[in-house]
């Protein structure tokens, strides 16, 4: 009996420590001319567990060709016989009601998903966000337009998350247009942290939401 209580007490203490422990995620991506270097570091239990992932290599082909992702893709295609076949589709009140029911259900699921993610974002603390970009196409007018688009994307993303995430420091955002050269340089460094318990609750709520 005493041993069982001792084991139960240890289990409760471990569960308490795990629940209130934090996960720290650090994302670093640097692109300088033709060199790409990115990694994701995850630290759990104050550094007792550490994980590191290298980001997939991206090859910049210029603004005309875009970005090429190096990797392997397997594709298996089944033999499909095609032919001319006419089918009559009948739309009646029952099908309209069924479509409306599915549509409203989809809207409810999207709304519930957003509520779950907004709740989780509110539990995240951003310790650092540095996002610097230097871009140019060799044409001054195009560089000016791209700079405006890039600023819009950055502020939209930060603004969307900023109302939910707790910021420890003000985000550092900058865009440096180059009007004479074709160039794309990026420096992105972000550190966020959240409790394991909040992540567990979010996963459970999402799992319950998907079963509905």
Domain boundaries along the sequence of the chain: 19-61+103-211
- Per the CB < 8 A criterion, the answer to whether 191 and 43 are in contact is no
- Mean pLDDT for the stretch of residues 188-201: 93
Six-digit token string for 198: 């909040």
Report the mean per-residue pLDDT for the chain.
Answer: 80
Q: Both ends of the chain: CA-CA distance in Å?
A: 42
- Mean pLDDT for the stretch of residues 154-169: 86
- pLDDT tens figures, 39-81: 999 999 888 889 998 876 555 555 555 555 443 434 333 344 4
Six-digit token string for 137: 């196409």
**Which of 26-40, 59-73, 164-178 is the least confident region?**
59-73
What's the pLDDT at 94? 76
Rounded distance between C-alpha atoms, residue 206 and residue 113, angstroms: 7
- Mean pLDDT for the stretch of residues 84-99: 65
- Mean pLDDT for the stretch of residues 91-113: 77
- Mean pLDDT for the stretch of residues 124-134: 93
- Mean pLDDT for the stretch of residues 104-122: 85
Rounded distance between C-alpha atoms, residue 65 and residue 62, angstroms: 6
- 40, containing H or E segment: strand 35-44
User: pTM here?
Assistant: 0.70
Helical H segments across the chain, by residue range: 2-20, 93-121, 140-162, 196-211
Rounded distance between C-alpha atoms, residue 19 and residue 207, angstroms: 19
């Amino acid at each position: 009996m005493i041993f069982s209580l001792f084991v139960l007490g240890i289990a409760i203490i471990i569960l308490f420590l795990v629940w209130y422990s934090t996960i720290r995620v650090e994302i670093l991506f640097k692109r300088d001319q033709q060199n790409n270097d990115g990694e994701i570091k995850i630290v759990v239990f104050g550094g007792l567990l550490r994980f590191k992932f290298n980001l997939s290599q991206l090859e910049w082909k210029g603004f005309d060709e875009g970005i090429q992702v190096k990797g392997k893709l397997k594709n298996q295609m089944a033999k499909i016989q095609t032919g001319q076949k006419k089918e009559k589709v009948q739309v009646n009140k029952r099908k309209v009601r069924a479509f409306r029911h599915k549509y409203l259900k989809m809207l409810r699921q999207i709304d519930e998903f957003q509520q779950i993610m907004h709740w989780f974002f509110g539990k995240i603390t951003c310790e650092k966000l540095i996002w610097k970009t230097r871009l140019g196409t060799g044409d001054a007018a195009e560089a000016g337009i791209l700079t405006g688009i890039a600023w819009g994307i950055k502020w939209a993303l930060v603004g969307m998350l900023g109302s939910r995430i707790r910021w420890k420091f003000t985000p550092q955002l900058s865009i440096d247009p180059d009007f004479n050269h074709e160039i794309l340089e990026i420096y992105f460094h972000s550190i966020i942290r959240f409790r394991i318990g909040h992540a567990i609750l979010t996963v459970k709520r999402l799992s319950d939401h998907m079963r509905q």
